[in-house]
Amino acid sequence: MFVAPNLALAGDNSESSYALTLTVPANGDDNFPLNGNLWLYGKKLDLLPQEVMLPDGYGVEEVPPWEQNPDVSELWREPRRAQWRRSSVQRRLRTLSEGIEGVALVRVDSGIGVAVELSTYGAVYRPPLRFAADGTPIERAVDNVYDLLVANPLESLEPETDYALLVNGDLSVFTTSQVDDITPPEWAGIEEVTHLGDENTVYTLASAADDFSFPVMVELYRGEARSPRLRQFALVGTRPVTGRLSPLNQDCIFARSVDVAGNYTDLLPCYPYPDPPEEEVVEETFLGCGVVDSSPNKGSKWSLVLLAALLVRVCKENMTCRDRPS
Q: Which of 28-42, 115-129, 135-149 has the lowest mean pLDDT?
A: 135-149
Q: Can you give the pLDDT at residue 282?
A: 55
CA 105 to CA 63: how far, in whole Å? 25
Q: Does the pLDDT at position 300 exceed 50?
A: no
**pLDDT cut 70: percent of the chain above it:** 80
Residue 63 and residue 81 in contact, taking contact as beta carbons nearer than 8 Å: no
Q: Can you give the pLDDT at residue 297?
A: 46
Q: In terms of Cα–Cα distance, which of 41, 38, 36, 47 is closest to 14?
A: 47
Q: Can you give the pLDDT at residue 99?
A: 84
**pLDDT cut 90: percent of the chain above it:** 56
* pLDDT tens figures, 159-171: 999 999 999 988 9
Structural domain boundaries of the chain?
A: 19-175, 186-258, 282-318
Q: Can you give the pLDDT at residue 15?
A: 63
End-to-end CA gap in the chain: 55
* pLDDT tens figures, 201-250: 899 999 999 999 999 999 999 988 888 999 999 999 999 999 999 777 77
Q: What is the dihedral of CA 73, 74, 79, 82, to 10 degrees?
A: 10
- Which residues are registered as beta bridge partners of 219? 233, 256
| Confidence bin at 317 (pLDDT 50/70/90) | low
| Confidence bin at 8 (pLDDT 50/70/90) | very low
Question: According to DSSP H, which parts of the chain are helical?
Answer: 65-68, 80-98, 300-318
Mean pLDDT of the chain: 84
